[in-house]
Chain A
Amino acid sequence: MVTIGHYLVLSSVLFAIGAGGVLLRRNGIATLLGIELMLNAANVAFVAFAKQHGNLEGQVVVFFVMAVAAAEVAVGLALLVAIFRRLQSIDVDRLSAMRW
């Protein structure tokens, strides 16, 4: 029997790894990858709760999260490309200027 606890432990570990990736990596693309990991961890928790309560609304929320994540990736990667054009680098440590 796989209980909700299994899913929640996995989800929290995934989220912590994703948060670590966002906080630690210098590469801008790796930062976005970490954000994707955190969103996925939230999705796992939502699906587990949907199963636990026998309620489909959790799965519907996951659907919306996926749509928002797709939008976030598109805009985030466009930003990275624009930054790369300016700086010839996507090192997030070099993004210290408030204006170009």
Chain B
Amino acid sequence: MDFLVAHFSQAVFLFLAFFSLGGAVGVVVLRQPVHAALSLLASFLGVAGLFVLARGEFLAAVQVLVYAGGVMVLFLFVIMFVNVRAVGKEAQYLRPLVPLAVVGGLLFSALALTAMWALGRRPPADAFPLVSVAGQEVGNTEAVGWILYREYLLPFEVVSVLLLVAMVGAIVLGRKPKEMEKA
């Protein structure tokens, strides 16, 4: 019991990591697009939990609202709109599996080695700046809002324009072509 109390954060981390990695594997392995999308949802929720563990409470909320909410609904909507009936008969994966597996393995081992190198380096800095404004403890959301609307105001506005452009682009792309409308 003492062991669990002493290593509680590791236990929580392992649980959430298992969740997010299991969901990720499901995305690649599961045949039905709906199953893959729901598996991705599990992965998103696990990552949201990891954000909480790393003192990013605001980002965890945004993760649940934007990804688990908006993006997932969009995916499921399109999957049901497209309604791929032929799934299950065709091959699931592209052909050149072996070279891709080698490339993927190399990519993964390079990334993992970098991470291992960082493992056991300096201990994390004091988390106080993540939850404070001007030396006063306020909470993560206020702190993010403070920095977002002061130092990152221009990028924030640019991103809002980007979202508008993406919305218009999606509407234009999703419109039926003229010859199909007549038919």
Known A-B contacts A33-B27, A50-B56, A57-B147; A26 and B91 likewise in contact (beta carbons under 8 Å): yes
A80, B124: Cβ atoms closer than 8 Å: no
If over half of A's interface residues share one DSSP class (helix, strand or loop), that class is named, otherwise mixed; here it is helix
Residue in chain B with minimal CB distance to A4: B118
Check: B5 CB closer than 8 A to any chain A CB. no
- Pairwise interchain contact A77-B24, C-beta atoms closer than 8 A: no
A21 to chain B, nearest CB (A): 4
Q: Is the CB of A18 within 8 A of B162?
A: no
Interface membership of B135, Cβ < 8 A: no
B94 sits at the interface (CB 8 A): yes
With a 10 A CB-CB cut-off, give which of A6, A8, A69, A85 has the most chain B CB atoms. Answer: A6
| Docked-complex contact B71 and A63, CB < 8 angstroms | no
B90 to chain A, nearest CB (A): 7
A16-B71 contact given A78-B169, A91-B90, CB 8 Å threshold: no
Which of B122-174 touch A at CB < 8 Å?
122-130, 140, 143-144, 147-148, 152, 155, 159, 162-163, 165-167, 169-171, 173-174
Give the chain A neighbours of B59 by CB distance below 8 A.
43, 47, 59, 62-63, 66
Query: Which of A37, A53, A68, A75 interacts with B173 by CB under 8 Å?
Result: A75
